[in-house]
Amino acid sequence: MQTEPAHQKNLRSFLARLRSGCDMLDEIARICAEASVRHGALSVIGAVDGAAFGFYDQQAKKYLRLTRPGAYEVIVCTGTITMKDGAPFVHAHVLFGDAEGSAFGGHLMSPTIVFAAELHVSELAGPPPVRLFDDITGLYLWDR
């Protein structure tokens, strides 16, 4: 495994609106597929109607899935886009806020239903990293 960071140039950046009523992960992947994005970074702001997120249990080596019905602000959502099984794979973490000013979040999961949201994608040039299974963590991590 490579220990030095892979330096890659930004190929292009673009903004897109996520459609209301769609699952956030599916919609980001759809937009990236239509724009032929093979890898890059993403951020999202907006609001959702129902949140699904996870916490990785390092001992059990599995995600604990949590859901919360209701309306929430997307305070920040940041992540990466790489390829998996020939399609864009979105890995993102999200922080939600409620009407009382409380915040919660973790690994973005489905279904997180978009109310209104804006996506920013920074596409990177060059070959995307490959995800390989890591025995130590139980996760599929980049090869570089």
Q: Which domains does the chain have, with CATH numbers?
A: 12-142 (3.30.1330.80)
Q: Is the dihedral of CA 61, 132, 77, 109 positive or negative?
A: negative
Strands (E), the chain: 10-18, 40-57, 62-84, 87-97, 103-108, 114-124, 131-134, 139-142
Instruction: Read off φ and ψ for residue 79, nearest 5 degrees.
Output: -175, -165
Instruction: Read off φ and ψ for residue 118, nearest 5 degrees.
Output: -120, 135
Span 92-113, pLDDT tens digits: 999 999 999 999 999 999 999 9
Span 38-96, pLDDT tens digits: 999 999 999 999 999 999 999 999 999 999 999 999 999 999 999 888 889 999 999 99
Radius of gyration of the chain (CA): 16
pTM for the full predicted model = 0.89
